[in-house]
Amino acid sequence: MDKHHITALLPEYLDNLLSERQRKNVAAHLKDCKVCSQELDELKTVFTAFEREKEMIPSDKLRTDFFEQIEQEKQHSSKVVSMNTASIHRKNNWATNFLKIAAGVALLVGVYFFGKQQQAQRSGKEIAQLTDETHAFKQTAMLSLMGNKSASKRIQGVNFIAEFPEPDEAIVSALADRMLHDENTNVRRTAVEVLSEFTTSETVKDSFIKALKTEKDPGIQITIIQVLGKMQEKKAAAAMQYLLEQDDTQPYVKEELELVLPNII
């Protein structure tokens, strides 16, 4: 099976045995994969044929003949073997058959669980592969939107980070770049708001500190000052002091700096 196909998951998908997350991933894959979609259609055809197949019930004559043959076999055995021998034989035969049945059941159980384990491993690998492909697609879409000429598209790309519970360094760096260098004030403001959710990242901290020296919009300046103040980021003290000393810094921005600076020095 091609590593990009998920045909092994389709039977469980049809039987509703997958988790909700797996079902969504498989459904998303089926929209774009003709091979897997065709395989799903063929499976549906087979399952439908099984459901329509009528159960064959043996005729009365066949049942009668079967029981007559069993009776003849019992009579033949009783003629050949004596009562004592037959009794011993039945006990031994019962013990032997019991052991055979027990061994058979154990073998079946072992094969069943081995098969389930193998299937789970295959499913896990395929779901992981599918998840990686989806993540890569989302990341490409996000970066593409953030590089769009339209400011509204760039804002959409910045907000797309909600699709990443744990964004990697490439995504965080791309957002920081929008915050520092985008020509549109609304895009920069949106980037600041989004990045404020990931303040444990050193890249985010350093970008906020750098933005204090480059950002000219007072509203964005105050947002960054408040975020750094809440973080109590001591490395931001020098940048805040620099902004406080600039003649073009708005009075209400300086007031915010004077409130926050004593708490982080």
Specify which of 19-23, 153-157, 191-195 reaches the highest per-range mean pLDDT. 191-195
Percentage of residues in the chain with pLDDT exceeding 70?
Answer: 63
Q: Is pLDDT of 2 > 60?
A: no
Q: What gap in Å lies between CA 171 and CA 161, rounded to an integer?
A: 8
Q: Is the pLDDT of residue 182 over 50?
A: yes
**pLDDT (mean) for 243-259:** 93
Lowest mean pLDDT among 39-48, 56-65, 204-213: 56-65
pLDDT tens for residues 49-99? 555 555 555 556 555 665 666 666 656 655 544 445 444 444 455 555 555
The predicted structure's pLDDT at residue 85:
47
Confidence of residue 1 (pLDDT cuts 50, 70, 90): very low
What is residue 7's DSSP assignment? G
Residue 114 confidence (pLDDT): 64
- C-alpha to C-alpha distance for 196 and 17, rounded to whole angstroms: 39
Question: Per-residue pLDDT tens for 138-155?
Answer: 777 777 777 888 888 888
Helix %, strand %, coil % of the chain (to 5): 80, 0, 20
Q: How many CB atoms lie within 10 A of CB 243?
A: 22
The closest of 247, 168, 164, 172 to 203, measured between CA atoms, is: 172
**Is residue 245 predicted with pLDDT exceeding 70?**
yes
Across the chain, what does the average pLDDT equal? 76
SS3 184: coil
Beta-carbon contacts of residue 27 (< 8 Å; ≥ 6 apart): none
Q: Is 0.75 topped by the overall pTM?
A: no
Under 8 Å CB-to-CB from 262, ≥6 apart: which residues?
A: none
Confidence band of 132 (pLDDT split at 50, 70, 90):
low
**CB-based contact 251:263 (threshold 8 Å):** no
Phi, psi of 161 (to 5 degrees): -65, -15
Q: How many CA atoms lie within 13 A of 16 on its CB side?
A: 0
- Does the pLDDT of residue 129 top 80, yes or no? no
**SS3 of 8, please?**
helix
Mean per-residue pLDDT, 190-212: 90
Please give the full DSSP string across 99-110, using - where no structure is assigned: HHHHHHHHHHHH
Side chain identity at residue 179, one-letter code: M
Asked whether the beta carbons of 9 and 26 are under 8 A apart, the reply is yes
Average pLDDT over residues 106-133: 62
- Is 157 or 187 the better-scoring residue by pLDDT? 187
pLDDT at res. 80: 45
State the pLDDT at residue 120.
Answer: 61
Phi, psi dihedral angles at 226 (to 5 degrees): -65, -40
